[in-house]
Homo-oligomer: A and B are copies of this chain.
Amino acid sequence: MAQNKQLVLKKRPVGLPNKDTWVLIESNIPELKEGEFLIKCEYISLDPAMRGWLNDTRSYIPPVQIDEVMRAGGVGKVITSNNPDFKEGDHVYGQTGVQQYIVTDGKGYHKVDPSLAPLPIYLGTLGMPGMTAYFGILEVGELKEGDTVLVSGAAGAVGSVVGQIAKIKNCKVIGIAGGADKCKYLVDVLGFDGAIDYKNDDIKAKIKEYFPKGIDVYFDNVGGEILDAALGRLAMHARIVICGAISQYNNTTAVKGPANYLSLLVSRASMKGMVVFDYAKDYGKAAQQMGQWMMQGKLKSKEDIYEGIENFHETFLRLFSGEKMGKLVLKVSED
């Protein structure tokens, strides 16, 4: 029988994870009990939120424990099954963790159909990032037709979908991303109305130029100075969706709070946090709508796929260095 390669948390990082953070181990695959099945995991999802799971602090989900397999969403194929709901050959999505095989009773897993979309898309646009974008911009952001929308991390898995949904809803959409290539991609491929290159542009000046009447909805994936710049240019009754703060996740000093938060008062605006799990009961409806938009060519999905479970650490760092485009995925075993 094949051995299972598993990536295990060894040491909580301070700042960016390093070589000591995780260790790759090999283990035997346990026997199946009644009701269980074995999945061969093919692709796992790499997301900024994973950085938060490494900290031993109160959050929306417990931290990953030392010596525990690193938590991650993944897609794979059922190899053998003692569970009537999941048959050999079925493809499934769930919290597989960063490993090649997993035995489960199926709790938290659902089937996906590789004939409708390639498997990695179920980790991106039709997975958690897509759901986050959908509920974040439409429900938390209370998006209305004609709104002016700013989204940061715009070339990422969440931001790229947020911007495209806002375009579908006839909004003016400006994205913030790092580098000319990503900015060009936002405008030329995804149809954004404009892009701001945070590595080279004067962010405040560009926001002022693009939003002469202020921002109606700001979807924040990054925090830090960009959040402050957006706060400085809100329209009346603006909504800020706090989805993440990638600029702050690896801080070794305190998080930088948004100094311009009193603009909320001046503009009678709101800043609201979200966690996608709260919308779980409506995932199906959202996925159906997003799938339809994809078929119609209105919603494009881009995955950036790397290979090899042994390359997890260096691939993970691309989330924070910005060296990736679209949804970051790691292929952890062969088809």
Residues of A within 8 A of B (CB): 58-60, 223, 228, 242-245, 248, 254-275, 278
Contacts and interface: CB of A to CB of B under 8 A. Distances in A.
A257 B254 contact: no
Contact of A261 (B59, B265, B267, B271): B271
Contact of A271 (B59, B271, B274, B278): B271
Chain A: interface secondary structure? loop
B278 A273 contact: no
Contacts of A262: 223, 242, 245, 248, 255, 273
22 contacts: A223-B262, A242-B261, A242-B262, A242-B264, A242-B265, A243-B265, A244-B265, A254-B259, A255-B260, A255-B262, A256-B257, A258-B261, A261-B271, A263-B273, A265-B275, A266-B273, A266-B275, A267-B273, A268-B273, A268-B274, A270-B270, A270-B272
Q: Which residue, A245, A271, A273, A275, has most C-beta atoms of chain B within 10 A?
A: A273
Contacts of A258: 257-258, 261
Nearest to A262: B245
A257 B244 contact: no
Contact of A257 (B242, B261, B274): B261
Given A257-B228, A258-B257, A59 B273 contact: no
Q: Which 6 A-B pairs have the closest CB atoms?
A: A257-B257, A264-B273, A265-B273, A257-B259, A270-B272, A257-B258
B273 A269 contact: yes
Contacts of A223: 262
A47 to B, nearest CB: 14
Given A242-B261, A261-B271, A264-B271, 20 more contacts: A59-B266, A223-B262, A228-B257, A242-B264, A255-B261, A256-B257, A257-B258, A257-B261, A258-B261, A263-B273, A265-B275, A266-B273, A266-B275, A268-B272, A268-B273, A268-B275, A269-B273, A270-B270, A270-B271, A270-B273
